[in-house]
Structure 1
């Protein structure tokens, strides 16, 4: 072994080189030889591992091997053996330079910690990418869990590196830092809150990737594209990106539209306002005229028969329409809209279908449609709703009703 330490030293001394110069030249020669050996071994192992993984990935039916190669797992693992060789031979190279040997050896050990973290990160990223290809994990906040693990790994790695550099044992170094725990908690406050929030969001199934959420406080209204340890990214419908702190999901109120998208329809809840002065009883002549409307023809016939039977049985004086039982233009119009909605091809017939009159306001009488469209896509939903109300607005005059409109300046002139 001594011959390796002084591979060139004895020869240099024999040719008249001074002792100090011979030691430096011997060290440089050994260092160059070690570097060449390490780089050659690193290159060969890297090529061997990468080709082996590529071949295995080509033959395997699973795409996990491809993901490992994509995230450079084989490439990072290939550095382990050259690093161990370098650590083993550093004492030989710097045999006559103990101070430099200690510095280089500590540096290589720190690099070993960093390499371990690189390998852990690439493996975890591979697991994350693979899980995202599986349907049952596609909408889960896997990024948060990976980030939490890597934060702990980096903290332990940094502590270990400081312990190596300072020469203090790892546990003693950690114990010393215990006094500064309050500062550490303050520095990692958002990370800790995000970690707790990620767990609660996942356990309670509050938000998934792909959910449509509305968070007015942060101006978010769109689809969740990413859930991280610290933030949730939402792509709004105008294609802008809103970033929300993860802990805000459990500390503030927001709306998740998943229930609507998972249901059989999207709710339509809109009304028109009719003038109260346009509401009146229907005369026999007007009822006969409205019977020409096919949707309510049978209804009017049956209803009119029942009303006439009742009024005759009670000897009601019908010289005034207010006496006895009567049909109103608003009631018949409400029945018409109800029938129209019930047969509309875009309305889900298995969910609530209702046309209702709301409490009168200072503007008039609101008549509201409450139903669910079968198509939940936004653009189609808006088209369906517009189509229904186009028909509803056009039908109002047939029942001698009037819509409420604020008067313009020109109409007052």
Structure 2
């Protein structure tokens, strides 16, 4: 009914003395504009109704795939086909008097449908990614990079089709011409190509997963992997900053992945305290008697004393000189105490590497190193456990008549009365 407005308008113009051809042209333009407005109105009505129904269905449904499609605006993109398809049918009926304009309008409609198709496919791939992220396997096998490759391919195909429409050439003709620009294309898509190859290697070798703690000193990354895409890997550092690393760098350069520590159930404690070498000495009987009152080290002192006494008696050692034979030292008993203390600590794993050892003596004394694994991996609690251990170790050292080595401070020099120190 409304489309007859153009016909009535044409008849009115004819009665006013306007030529038949010009009146027919005005009629077609009027019909096309009215049809366009009607299609636009129809599209918004259909969109309102359909999206409302879809929204209610997704809220009541227990599945996740429909929610993913709705959140990715897949249904919105599909509905964009409605005005394009309808306009494609109406244009030949309303623009018969303008064949050249009709060709251009139909060409624009085709280009519009191509871009809508790409947009719809992109929304569908986004929904696929969202659905996949709900599975546990997504952490070990990310697919974001592959989906981005598909998106790039779709865009390239779409651009080729559009160019072929504008030039009125076959898409195969343009594809054949791309061979001459292969070097340029390789340069343009260098990072995506390297990222795709790296992504396949990372996934196949299980090198990095989303949620892994990695350290890459060259890039300044020290934190948790939050996203793995085709060209970049995002790492949220412990200071809450974000470091972006090229995906192929994880294959071509070295980095540390702490996942092994997290999966092992233990976190390493590796720290040493420097003992002043001047405080190391043989144990007198008075010291032995005092050490026997330390419960953790008593079994060791008793068994070691018996072993050394038997050895010295068997070899008729002159005990009047301490360097003769074998003797216990305060440093050795302290090392045994540390081992017993850590074995009785409920926060230390006994089934993993367990060492209390001396390192190479140097100008800073004798390093006594503790190399054990904590049962707790959470950073804050792990630091508390480590601090508690060394709080106790520092406080226990004087009980064995040992001293911690540290460089003298101004207060130490003042006590010595050195000139010039106030």
The answer, yes or no, to whether TM exceeds 0.5 is: yes
Could you tell which deviates more after superposition, 39-48 or 259-268? 39-48
Deviations 1:104-157 (A, max 9, x none): 111111110110011111111111111112222145432212211101100110
Work out the CA distance in 2 between the residues paired with 1:118 and 1:260: 43
SS in 1 for 2:106: helix
The corresponding residue for 2:315 is: 314
* Cα deviation, residue 251, structure 1: 1.1
Rounded to whole Å, the distance in 1 between the matches of 2:60 and 2:246 is: 43
4+ residue segments displaced more than 4 Å = 6-10
State how far apart, in whole Å, the 2-side matches of 1:90 and 1:179 are. 39
Aligned residue in 1 for 2:11: 11
Give the CA deviation at 1:97: 1.2
| 1:400 Cα deviation from its structure 2 partner | 1.2
Aligned residue in 2 for 1:230:
231
8 Å Cα contact 1:160/1:170 also seen in 2? yes
CA-CA distance at 1:409 after TM superposition: 4.4
Q: TM-score when scaled to structure 1?
A: 0.95
The aligned counterpart of 1:373 is: 374
Q: Is the 8 A contact 1:353 1:370 kept in 2?
A: yes
Q: Secondary structure at the match of 1:294?
A: coil
Query: In the TM superposition, what whole-angstrom CA distance separates every residue of 1:160-217 from its partner, at most 9, and x where no partner exists?
Result: 1111111111000111122111111111111111111111111111111110011111
Please give the alpha-carbon distance, in whole angstroms, between the structure 1 residues aligned to 2:268 and 2:292: 31
Q: Which residue of 1 aligns with 2:51?
A: 50
In 1, Cα distance between equivalents of 2:18 and 2:73 = 48
Q: Tell me, yes or no, if structure 1 residue 191 matches structure 2 residue 192.
A: yes
| Bigger shift: residues 147-156 or 54-63 | 54-63
Asked if the contact 1:68/1:123 (under 8 Å) is kept, the reply is yes
C-alpha separation between the residues in 2 aligned to 1:160 and 1:9?
Answer: 40
Report the equivalent of 1:351: 352
Residue matched to 1:34: 35
Show the counterpart of 1:75. 76
Could you tell me how far 1:8 is from its partner in structure 2? 5.3
1:118 alignment counterpart = 119
Match of 1:387 in 2: 388
What's the secondary structure of 2:235's corresponding residue?
strand
| Structural RMSD (CA) | 1.8
1:68-147 matched pairs, under 5 angstroms: 68-147=69-148
- Give structure 2 stretches of 5+ with no counterpart: none
Q: TM-score, normalised by structure 2?
A: 0.93
Q: Distance in 1 between matches of 2:220 and 2:45?
A: 54
3-state SS of 2:114 partner: helix
Residue by residue, what CA displacement relative to the aligned partner does 1:65-101 show, whole Å, maximum 9, x if unpaired?
1121111111211122331121122122221112211
The alignment covers a number of residue pairs equal to 410
Whole-Å separation in 2 of the counterparts to 1:122 and 1:82: 19
Alignment of 1:296-315 (within 5 A): 296-315=297-316
Partner of 1:399: 400
User: Distance between the aligned counterparts of 1:51 and 1:190, measured in 2?
Assistant: 42
Contact kept, 8 Å, 1:131 with 1:138, in 2: the verdict is: no
Q: Give me the whole-angstrom Cα distance separating, in 1, the residues matched to 2:219 and 2:317.
A: 64
CA distance in 2, matches of 1:138, 1:47: 37
